[in-house]
Amino acid sequence: MWLRKLLYYPLSIALTIASPAPVVRGQPGGAPWLAIDSNFPDPSFLQAPDGRWYAFGTNGNNRRVQVAVSLDFHTWNLTDIEALPTLAPWETAIDHWAPDVIQRDDGRYVMYYSGEARSRLRHHCVGVAISASTSPLGPYIPNDEPLSCRLNDGGSIDPAGFRDPADGSRYVLFKLDGNSVGNGGDCNNGNPPILDTPIMLQPVEEDGFTLRGDAVEILHRVTEDGDGPLVEAPSLVFVGGMYYLFYSTHCYTDVLYDVRFATADSLGGPFEKGNESLVRTGEFNLTSPGGGTVWAGDEGPRILFHGFCGEEVRCTYAAELEIGDGDVRFV
Ligand SMILES: *[C@@H]1O[C@H](CO)[C@@H](O)[C@H](O)[C@H]1NC(C)=O
Ligand SMILES: *[C@@H]1O[C@H](CO)[C@@H](O)[C@H](O)[C@H]1NC(C)=O
Ligand SMILES: *[C@@H]1O[C@H](CO)[C@@H](O)[C@H](O)[C@H]1NC(C)=O
């Protein structure tokens, strides 16, 4: 995965783009902290009914899907659990990216993840795996069929589950990986014609994976918005009557990789982009922060995201957030 993505965008380029560190939106009083001091990219997380926190990360440390646990969200332990010990028929054994887990009403957990499509190597589908029991540690057993492929559009990656508090209905967000079929340059999508990498919203049934109608596009890569070659890594929450869609812009190897958010009054959008980073390189000693997941539960909103903490190593950072009135800041 690393080598492949680095081919799109040599790390040396990232080091030559110096950028000033502008003030974060709002006035941050708090700061992110290093939560998982190990390669744990694209973190997602949930709080189980017993109050414990569980985080899931992209393949690394010899695991397809990594799991970390915490009693308080502050201190995390990386486990040696392999959450996805078996493969679906559609996928190869590599590239298990950006897992995201939700709990169903029957107590089981559903993991969404990206895997490489056997039918078109180097392109990916979003797969679904269901926990064998009511433990969030898994193991997760993959469904035979992926949730979304769209290989002619570049494939589907970066899934994130969402349950709309307004009516309890379930959705899966993901990114159409347009840059994987781009025309070279920055993250393989820097040369014209520059392709879209839309964030999609797919309604699903209560089981978490049966499709309910078609996916719709809710956010686009726009050059004038400063998105660079792509938008990706969606994470959606509903707070105070408003939907907040978090996402990353630019290539993940670029110092311009960041976390941003867009807001909407209704789930279908339109989502209005802030066009500014919630967090970016240079702030809090972070390098290329992104791939974030936001949780808006009873204990207050919080985020996990990754940033480089060594060459080709992305550690996971945590922060508590204040979300309201269309704005987000660290507290
Ligand atoms: C993390 O590891 C420490 C040291 O082994 C242990 O005391 C603690 O209970 C662990 N936390 C969790 C949530 O497993
Ligand atoms: C973001 O940029 C676009 C394009 O320049 C602009 O139309 C939009 O108003 C901007 N949004 C904000 C909130 O600044
Ligand atoms: C800043 O980050 C670098 C790279 O991750 C790390 O080596 C260094 O110790 C950090 N400095 C501080 C003050 O945290």
Q: What is the pLDDT of residues 2-45, one digit of tens each?
A: 333 333 333 333 333 334 333 333 344 589 999 999 999 999 99
Tokens standing for residue 255: 């110092």
pLDDT at 274: 92
Nearest CA to ligand 1 atom 1: 77
Q: How many CB atoms are located within 10 Å of the residue 229 CB?
A: 27
**What CA–CA distance (Å, rounded) separates 172 from 174?**
7
Ligand 1 centroid distance, CA of 8 (Å): 39
Does 28 or 61 have the greater pLDDT score? 61
Determine if ligand 3 sits within 6 Å of the CB of residue 285.
yes
Would strands 97-103 and 77-78 be described as parallel, antiparallel, or unpaired? unpaired
Q: Each residue of 311-327: pLDDT tens digit?
A: 999 999 999 999 999 99
Instruction: Supply the pLDDT for residue 273.
Output: 97
What digits encode the pLDDT tens for the residues 65-119? 999 999 999 999 999 999 999 999 999 999 999 999 999 999 999 999 999 999 9
Gap from CA of 276 to ligand 2 centroid (Å): 10
pLDDT of 29? 56
Give the chain as a 3 state SS string: CHHHHHHHCCHHHHHHCCCCCCCCCCCCCCCCEEEECCCCCCCEEEECCCCCEEEEECCECCECCEEEEECCCCCCEECCCCCCCCCCCCECCCCCEEEEEEECCCCCEEEEEEEEECCCCCCEEEEEEEECCCCCCCCEEECCCCCECCHHHCEEEEEEEEECCCCCCEEEEEEECHHHHCCECHHHECCCCCCCCCEEEEEECCCCCCECCCCEEEECCCHHHCCCCCEEEEEEEEECCEEEEEEEECCCCCCCCEEEEEEECCCCCCCEECCCCCEECCHHHCCCCEEEEEECCCCCCEEEEEEEEECCEEEEEEEEEEEECCEEEEC
Tell me the per-residue pLDDT of 229-271, one tens digit each, with 9 for 90 and over: 999 999 999 999 999 999 999 999 999 999 999 999 999 999 9
Going along the chain from its start, the domains and CATH numbers come out as 2-330 (2.115.10.20)
How close is the Cα of 319 to the center of ligand 3, in Å?
17
Any residues with Cβ below 6 Å from ligand 1, and which?
Answer: 69-71, 77
pLDDT of residue 30: 86
Measured from the CB, is residue 37 less than 6 Å from ligand 3? no
Residues 78-95 as b or e (16 or more Cβ within 10 Å = b): bbebbbbbebbebbeeeb
Q: What is the pLDDT of residues 271-322, one digit of tens each?
A: 999 999 999 999 999 999 999 999 999 899 999 999 999 999 999 999 999 9
pTM: 0.91
* Ligand 3 atom, smallest distance to 286 CA: 2
Ligand 2 atom closest to the Cα of residue 225 is 2
Q: Is the CB of 309 within 6 Å of ligand 3? A: yes
Tokens 């006035």 -> residue: 27
Question: Tokens 């809710």 appear where?
Answer: 218
Looking at residue 10, its pLDDT comes to 38
Can you give the pLDDT at residue 22? 36
Q: Is the pLDDT score of 1 beyond 70?
A: no
Hey, which residues does 148 pair with through a beta bridge? 126
Residues 161-213 have pLDDT tens digits of 999 999 999 999 999 999 999 999 999 999 999 999 999 999 999 999 999 99
- In the predicted model, what is the mean pLDDT of residues 127-135? 98
Report which bound ligand comes closest to the CA of 33: 3
Among protein residues, the one with the nearest Cα to ligand 1's atom 4 is 77
